[in-house]
Amino acid sequence: MTQEKTQTTREHINAYLLLGLPLVGSHVAQFSIQLADTIMLGWYSVEALAAQVLAGTLFFVLFIFGAGFAFAVMPMVAQAEGAGDERGARRVTRMGIWASILFGIAVLPVFLFAEPLLLALGQKPELAALGAAYLGVAGWGIFPALIVMVLKSFLSALERTQVVLWVTIVAVFANILINYALIFGNWGAPELGIVGAAWASLSVQVISVILMVAYTRYATPEHEVFVRFWRADWPALLAVFRLGWPIGITTLAEVGLFAASSVMMGWLGTLQLAAHGIALQVASLTFMVHLGLSNAATVRAGRAFGRGDYAALRHGGLVVLGMSVVVALVASVVFLTMPEVLLSAFLDPEDTDTSAVLAIGVGLMAAAALFQLVDAAQVMGLGILRGVQDTRGPMIIAAISYWVIGVPVSYLLGFVFGFGGIGIWLGLALGLAVAAVLLIWRFLRWQPGQKNATA
């Protein structure tokens, strides 16, 4: 405890790098799985790609909401470990898996009977049919996907982040190989197209959960996570639920902000939407770095909180915030000085629309550079506050910042004032900026006993 209280800034930085770099790598690898799906289905057919984007978005929205329970496990286990309470860590991990399974049961019918829903959302019948076929297989993956998220949170809280990285890397290569076989019918496999991609996703999730369960069982026997797993622990389940649902809604609010921006860009035209999609992919890649550091901030804040070491909690929070700002500044410089290079990696130089998409994308990359700092600050604020199990206040901040300010301002600047795509992205930046200021202010004025206050 004394050592933690007297840690220098350099020691904090080293600890964050040791814990955070594998998490950054795992997030980048996870992002690569989505990127591979997009590229390989795009090679197969435009219709398959469009249907997968449609169905994949529905799956992701429900998955990210359900992942709130997994995200809740991380600070709860970190706090328990900081306090030397292995039993508490075991209880919340088990019930985090329970909550995830119950959530999966609740949403599975949405995936199995998706076609009427997609039609009701105004999608073309052929795309709705393809999307429903995809979800009829991939939807079952909600169970292993959420369980993997819980175990990743558990192991990250124990500072065993290397295994999280390696399992994700295995998943990347397995996804590419199974996609190659089942989408295109290679190596004697049937050509299943979009359904092949669904089977690939489900297979990868099953492989991942088997690896994570095996590692958790044999590498952390002292926690006995799966011993008497069938036994309900209602107080722990309620605690996970209370902390997890605000996290799910907070994440959903942010995901919804960017989804709304995509819808609005689509109103402007196909070229604008294409440029938006590419710029968003580039910005999302740098966001993975901030997200990994944010996860590390949750773990270290949670451990300090469990020890009652509030000086280390505050000092460490400021250090990791500074690290994230440095990354954001570097990314901003790259976005401003070489946008064409970044955008061109996604475009066919022979395509007649390439020059027009580049022209639009350059402006969007400038806007992306503008919100790098605030995007980094808001995710770091969320990570630190989750470490002290403060989730309801941040949920309210996110809802107001993204949906009362961000989305309306994007619409006003983009359409009412005629700034187009740049206006939409400036609205995003403003929403993220408001969230960043309020979340960092909340962290700076945080006091012990404030956990889950709503003001």
Q: Domain span at residue 33?
A: 20-232
Residue 12 token pair: 């904090």
199 and 59, same structural domain? yes
User: Comparing 168 with 439, which gets the higher pLDDT?
Assistant: 439
For tokens 């006993």, the residue is 449
Backbone angles phi, psi at 132, to 5 degrees: -65, -40
pLDDT exceeds cutoff 80 at 5:
no
310 and 224, same structural domain? no
Average pLDDT on 82-106 reads 91
Q: How confident is residue 318, by pLDDT bands cut at 50, 70 and 90?
A: very high
For tokens 């996110």, the residue is 398
Task: Give residue 15's pLDDT.
Answer: 85
Per-residue pLDDT tens digits for 221-257: 888 888 888 888 899 999 999 989 999 899 888 888 8
Average pLDDT on 188-198 reads 89
**pTM of the complete model:** 0.81
142 and 32, same structural domain? yes
Q: Which of 68-82, 180-194, 271-285, 370-384 has the lowest mean pLDDT?
A: 271-285
Average pLDDT on 303-321 reads 89
Burial of residue 252 (CB within 10 Å: 0-12, 13-18, 19+) is buried
315 and 166, same structural domain? no
Q: How confident is residue 450, by pLDDT bands cut at 50, 70 and 90?
A: low
Q: Which residues of 52-65 are buried (b: 16+ CB within 10 A; e: fewer)?
A: bbbbbebbeebbbb
262 and 406, same structural domain? yes
Taking the C-alpha atoms of residue 38 and residue 31, their distance in angstroms, rounded to an integer, is: 11
169 and 114, same structural domain? yes
Residue 25 resides in a domain? yes
Count the domains in the chain. 2
Task: Give residue 46's pLDDT.
Answer: 65
| Final residue of a structural domain among 232, 267, 301 | 232
Residue 238 resides in a domain? no
227 and 138, same structural domain? yes
166 and 83, same structural domain? yes
Residue 11 resides in a domain? no
Output the CA–CA distances (angstroms, integers) from residue 392 to 62, 79, 385, 395, in the order listed. 20, 18, 10, 5
Mean pLDDT taken over the chain: 86
| Final residue of a structural domain among 172, 207, 232 | 232
Output the CA–CA distances (angstroms, integers) from residue 247 to 72, 82, 144, 321, 394, in the order listed. 7, 22, 20, 20, 8
pLDDT exceeds cutoff 80 at 132:
yes
Using alpha carbons, select from 441, 454, 75 the residue that is nearest to residue 294: 75
293 and 180, same structural domain? no
For tokens 């289905």, the residue is 41
Residue 163 token pair: 């295994």
119 and 79, same structural domain? yes
256 and 197, same structural domain? no
Residue 4 resides in a domain? no
Residue 1 resides in a domain? no
User: Comparing 369 with 278, which gets the higher pLDDT?
Assistant: 369
Taking the C-alpha atoms of residue 76 and residue 359, their distance in angstroms, rounded to an integer, is: 47
Vertex 42 angle, CA 39 and 44, to 5°: 115
